[in-house]
Structure formats: structure tokens, C-alpha cells
């Protein structure tokens, strides 16, 4: 059986790792848009104006992300809301 002293390096490592990951995740919400995120939001705006994917415009991705961007833009024009929703859907999809 390991003592508390032997488990201390592992606990310190896990805490530092979680702080690093959390900090990087936090910072990622406040950086400028990547190219794909800008495309998703622009095409989502076009969907809101009545244009249709593969008929009025083309991008090589499936239309689900564009409809998600359009849906998010119905409720909020803030980019951070879109990033949070995409993070949540990615986490759900990962499991």
C-alpha cells in the first residue's frame, strides 16, 4: 500500500496538468477566429439569409456545423458563445 508521501508527486502532476489544460482552454476562447470558425459563422449567416449549402455556396464540410452556427447566431452574436457551443458538441461527440 502506498503512503501519502508516495502519492504526492502524482497528485502534484495531475493538479499542474489540469491547471495547464484549463488555462489553455480558457485562453483559447479569447484568441482571434481561426479560418474555419470564420467560415462557419459566415456560412451560418448566409443560411439565415435564405441561401442553401451546395446550391448557393460551397464548402467541403458537411452542413451540420453551418446549421449549428446559424442556430447559435439566432440567440447571440458573440463569438465566444459559438466557441463554447462547439466545445460542448465536440465533448459530447468524443464520448
Percent of the chain residues topping a pLDDT of 90: 16
Q: How many CB atoms lie within 10 A of CB 70?
A: 19
pLDDT at residue 2, as a whole number: 59
pTM over 0.85: no
Half-sphere exposure of 14 (CA within 13 A, CB side): 5
Amino acid at each position: 500500500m502506498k503512503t501519502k508521501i508516495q502519492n504526492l508527486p502524482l497528485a502534484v502532476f495531475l493538479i499542474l496538468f489540469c491547471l495547464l489544460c484549463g488555462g489553455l482552454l480558457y485562453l483559447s476562447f479569447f484568441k482571434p477566429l481561426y479560418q474555419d470558425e470564420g467560415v462557419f459563422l459566415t456560412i451560418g449567416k448566409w443560411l439565415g439569409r435564405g441561401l442553401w449549402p451546395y446550391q448557393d455556396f460551397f464548402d467541403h464540410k458537411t452542413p451540420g456545423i453551418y446549421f449549428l452556427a446559424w442556430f447559435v447566431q439566432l440567440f447571440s452574436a458573440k463569438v465566444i458563445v459559438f466557441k463554447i457551443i462547439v466545445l460542448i458538441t465536440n465533448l459530447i461527440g468524443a464520448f
